[in-house]
């Protein structure tokens, strides 16, 4: 059994006219709201945490992130039990191909949605194992023993060129006209320790706060809402989504 304490917050920020981010925690979808809940893993064979950061003109980024997370939740809950790690990976890759077709097709039917897309970052608990998933430049961090480590790689032009400063030019996403989308899936079961904090976030947080700043706030015990508020205090130039997952207890039943 694994006991988690989860906090999540999704905020429009100070500049954008609408919120194109969305958060998924289990069965709960969040946009423009905050949420906290304990989660017990072990009594259920699957649970999903994910953030999607939409992009596109008008409200299309908002649509892309919503479609992607709702579709992923349905697909994830429908995956047969008992798959191996490679079988799980293949299922998520199949989902990526399917959701890309759905997003692109919507753009063909209605040109207001043409070119819309979204990033995706998440942690999936399935069949007793944990997996990180990443497509785009939203991030997963681990905070352990006072140290913050980025566990995902930004799929961005800056990262490809070895530039540390982040920009909005991404090289991989769901939809968005991307012809060769891919998703990084990493099994992380044996790296989950009691006391760890895992942080999913859109670039609305990581662009406003350095890794050192994020680590400082986590050391102070800040939850997802407090991290969003800190990014807003620094200017809130984009939508901000944060999901903080604290590993409170791991024990044998």
pLDDT tens digits for range 163-205: 656 556 889 999 988 888 999 999 999 999 999 999 999 999 9
Report how far residue 49's alpha carbon sits from residue 70's, in angstroms, rounded to the nearest whole number.
12
Report how far residue 183's alpha carbon sits from residue 119's, in angstroms, rounded to the nearest whole number.
10
Q: What is the pLDDT of residue 252?
A: 77
Q: Decide if pLDDT at 111 tops 80.
A: yes
Beta bridge partners of 244: 7, 199
Collapsing DSSP states into helix, strand and coil, what is residue 101? helix
- Reported as a single tens digit per residue, the pLDDT across 150-167 is 999 999 887 766 665 655
Helix (H) or strand (E) holding 216: helix 211-219
Q: How far is CA 86 from the centre of its chain?
A: 21
Q: What is the mean pLDDT of residues 238-245?
A: 98
- Residue pair 185/129 in contact by the 8 Å Cβ criterion: no
Structure tokens at 73: 């939740």
Helix (H) or strand (E) holding 197: strand 197-201
- 6 burial class (0-12, 13-18, 19+ CB within 10 angstroms)? buried
Residue 141: C-alpha distances to residues 17, 18, 125, 235 (Å): 28, 26, 17, 22
Q: What is the pLDDT of residue 164?
A: 59
Q: What is the pLDDT of residue 44?
A: 79
Q: What is the mean pLDDT of residues 119-138?
A: 97
DSSP-derived secondary structure letter, 81? T
Q: What is the pLDDT of residue 42?
A: 85
Q: What is the mean pLDDT of residues 34-55?
A: 94
């Amino acid at each position: 059994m694994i006991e988690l304490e989860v906090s999540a917050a999704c905020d429009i920020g100070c500049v954008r006219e609408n919120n194109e981010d969305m958060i998924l925690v289990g069965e709960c979808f969040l946009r423009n709201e905050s949420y906290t809940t304990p989660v017990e893993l072990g009594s259920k064979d699957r649970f999903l945490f994910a953030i999607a950061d939409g992009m596109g003109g008008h409200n299309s980024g908002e649509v892309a992130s919503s479609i992607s997370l709702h579709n992923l939740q349905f697909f994830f809950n429908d995956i047969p039990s008992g798959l191996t790690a490679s079988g799980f990976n293949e299922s998520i890759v199949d989902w990526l191909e399917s959701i890309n077709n759905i997003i692109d097709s919507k753009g063909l039917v209605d040109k207001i949605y043409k070119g819309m897309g979204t990033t995706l970052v998440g942690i999936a608990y399935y069949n007793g194992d944990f997996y990180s998933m990443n497509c785009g430049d939203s991030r997963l961090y681990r905070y352990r023993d006072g140290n913050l480590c980025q566990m995902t790689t930004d799929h961005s032009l800056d990262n490809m060129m070895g530039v540390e400063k982040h920009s909005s030019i991404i090289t991989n996403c769901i939809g968005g006209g991307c012809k060769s989308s891919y998703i990084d899936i990493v099994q992380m079961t044996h790296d989950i320790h009691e006391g760890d904090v895992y942080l999913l976030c859109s670039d609305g947080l990581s662009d406003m706060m350095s890794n050192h700043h994020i680590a400082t706030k986590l050391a102070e015990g800040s939850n997802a809402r407090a991290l969003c508020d800190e990014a807003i205090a620094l200017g809130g130039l984009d939508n901000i989504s944060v999901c903080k997952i604290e590993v409170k207890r791991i024990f044998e039943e």
